Amino acid sequence: MEQVENSFDVAIIGGGINGSSIAYQLAKMGRKVIIIEKERLACQASSAAAGMLAAQAEIEQDGPLFQLALKSQAMFSTLSSELFEYSGIDIEFVNKGMLKIAETEEIAAEVKKQVSYQRNWDPTIKWLDGKVLREMEPSLAPSVVGGMYLPNDGHVQPAKLTQAFAHAAVYFGAEIRENTEVLSFIFEDGQVKGVKTTNGVIHSEQVVVATGAWAAKLMRESGLDISVYPVKGECFSVRTEEPIINTTIFSDKRCYLVPKRNGEIYIGATMLENTFDNKVTPEGIASLIERATKLVPQIKEAAWERVWSGFRPQTGDGIPYIGEHPKWKKLFVAAGHFRNGILLSPITGKIVADLLAGRRQDEALLAAFHLERHKETVG
């Protein structure tokens, strides 16, 4: 039997959006990288997301997470062509803006405050009253009071983005092993030396845990409790013969409508904490249909396409974990991106690759993401 090469510079656990982005950046540096995925690439949250790049619609307060999101959002235009060159995959980057709508006067007052605040970073953001909104998007319900127009918030196809990162990493020499689960770490002399998997031992100089909502379970084996837990989201999509919306519609009432290039409209998403039960429920989809049709009544007449669910990786304080293990050297974590995994994937890949390469970092910015911020080290 042919001997499989099992020695690498970096082993990345998790073939989702962030694991694949990290692999791409490291492989471009010339590092020998392997992605280890217990199922298939992009099979969990990375394929379940709607792909919104909503830095300013989703994150409403300034701080390290917001600043990271702005930097990452700005990378997508160049990244789209770059990944196509190396992977041949079109990530379907669409940059037609977003409308964060207000359905009541009370919500309108809050959104107007957000407009004033967000213009500090993007002067093109503006408040539009209901009449102007419906001139832009005639399908919006008459009940919509107004909304914040964010011309620079776009979206991508998340599964294709993940695949593009991974295949571009392969272009630069990375290896991918699917259907391979990591069981434990190999530690020696105060640092990680590799991992034990269902398909044998993999030796590596550095290891990155990028397993999303499953990160806490694996990190416990290293003696560290990190507050990462799943938040289930159910979604559905419809298809129309002619486009009925052109921009992404985002409502504070846990509903968004994202018009994709292939004619589908993605509609989501429910939120249910602390469960890995992936079933899609009639109750969840019914609640989304009710919200969506109140915003865009024509959705009732669209052709039904499909339903799905996924697990967002949330943290106790809503901030991802990005950094090196406090006890075991050369073991790194990038997990807990919640609703912003797609948006933050380019900058996460760059930051983690630079950390592993020992490149200079913005220490003040990264301090917010460190692994010990909850002081939960155990063992």
If asked whether residues 295 and 264 sit together in one domain, one would say yes
> Residue 319 has what pLDDT?
94
> Residue 143 has what pLDDT?
92
Tens-place pLDDT, residues 284-293? 999 999 999 9
Q: Nearest to residue 150, comparing CAs of 75, 72, 97, 109?
A: 97
- What's the mean pLDDT when you consider all of the chain? 93
> Residue 268 has what pLDDT?
94
If asked whether residues 321 and 359 sit together in one domain, one would say yes
If asked whether residues 195 and 251 sit together in one domain, one would say no
CATH number at residue 190: 3.50.50.60
Task: Report angle CA 169, 71, 108 to the nearest 5 degrees.
Answer: 130
Low-confidence ranges of the chain (pLDDT < 70): 1-5, 253, 374-379
If asked whether residues 268 and 202 sit together in one domain, one would say no
> Residue 45 has what pLDDT?
85
Expressed as residue numbers, the domain containing 34 is: 7-69+158-226+317-369
What is the C-alpha separation between 67 and 322, in angstroms, rounded? Answer: 15
Q: Give the residue from 273, 298, 315 where a domain finishes.
A: 315
Q: Which pTM value belongs to this model? A: 0.94
Q: In this structure, which amino acid lies at residue 122?
A: D
DSSP 129: E
What is the C-alpha separation between 294 and 290, in angstroms, rounded? Answer: 6
CATH number at residue 274: 3.30.9.10
If asked whether residues 176 and 309 sit together in one domain, one would say no
Indicate the number of domains in the chain.
2
